[in-house]
Amino acid sequence: MAGGHSFNTLLDTVWTKLDSGEETSVSKGYASGCNVITEGILSPREVLANALGWYALALIPLILLSVRVTPLILVPAILGMGVTFWYSKSKFTTWSHELALASGPIAASVMGALSTGTGEWLNAFLVALPIVTIFSFAGLALDEHPDAEANLKKGVRSLPYKVWEYGFDLCSYLLLWFIAAYCAQVFLIAAGILATLTGITFILLPLFFGLLVYLKGALG
């Protein structure tokens, strides 16, 4: 995540140009490092060095696990490191933006499963689907909403930006993806892949509905 975010800052500034020029992505409190190049805090080379440094640190436990457990763990690890490049370019495609973001946590889930030494990774892949549905398909629409006006002028075409461009109600869009995530969870419980007690997450729905009401008010 640390290396990927650094690379994303670099790529959005010098490659896709989304964070260069007068109109850039909005600086968000949870990702305040995203505009460090545009604001003159760091140079592109310094951001690149930071990203490579995090990736190098990540390789230490990965190599140990590949030697002691299974070399297969390197496959999702290396693919995961490349996600940031796909993610930066996927904003200019119609359908792959959310898939690029979702592939990161899925790779992490598979790595976690492979590190146990059982060789079982398919269930880890499946149980990650509900959470990445919320994290990626719903989350990106919320994350990109304040960036949409500026970034659409630079050629982005992905679905999260189209939600803003076409005036689709953001709260309804988020609700649809949450319903899809819970449907996936119910299916995994019925299939015996998830434990029945994981259904306790349904108690969060009233809170989520309330948050959507306040979000609607904040959006005007």
CA distance 180 to 18: 31
Mean pLDDT for 158-184 is: 97
Q: How many separate helices (H) and strands (E) can be counted in the chain?
A: 10, 0
Q: Does residue 206 surpass a pLDDT of 90?
A: yes
**What integer pLDDT is reported at residue 33 of this predicted model?**
58
**What integer pLDDT is reported at residue 34 of this predicted model?**
67
**What integer pLDDT is reported at residue 73 of this predicted model?**
96
Tell me the residue range of the domain where 156 lies: 2-219
Q: Are 110 and 80 in contact (CB under 8 A)?
A: no
Per-residue exposure over 135-145, b if at least 16 CB sit within 10 Å of its own CB, e if not:
bbbbbbbbbbb
pLDDT per residue over 6-57, tens digit each?
Answer: 999 999 999 999 988 777 777 655 555 567 888 889 999 999 999 999 999 9
Helix (H, G, I), strand (E, B) or coil at 125: helix
CB neighbours (10 Å) of residue 93?
15
pLDDT per residue over 51-82, tens digit each?
Answer: 999 999 999 999 999 999 999 999 999 999 99
Mean pLDDT for 159-164 is: 96
Split into its structural domains, the chain has a count of 1
**What integer pLDDT is reported at residue 211 of this predicted model?**
96
Q: Are 146 and 193 in contact (CB under 8 A)?
A: no
pLDDT per residue over 99-146, tens digit each?
Answer: 999 999 999 999 999 999 988 999 999 999 999 999 999 999 999 999
**What integer pLDDT is reported at residue 30 of this predicted model?**
53
Q: Does residue 152 surpass a pLDDT of 60?
A: yes
User: Long-range CB contacts (< 8 A, 24+ apart) of 181-190?
Assistant: 181/130, 181/131, 181/133, 181/134, 181/138, 182/130, 184/129, 184/130, 184/133, 185/130, 188/126, 188/127, 188/129, 188/130
pTM to 2 decimals?
A: 0.89
29 contacts: CB under 8 Å, gap ≥ 6: none
CA distance 23 to 84: 22
Mean pLDDT for 179-190 is: 97
- The CA-atom distances, in angstroms, between 118 and each of 59, 113, 122 are 21, 8, 11
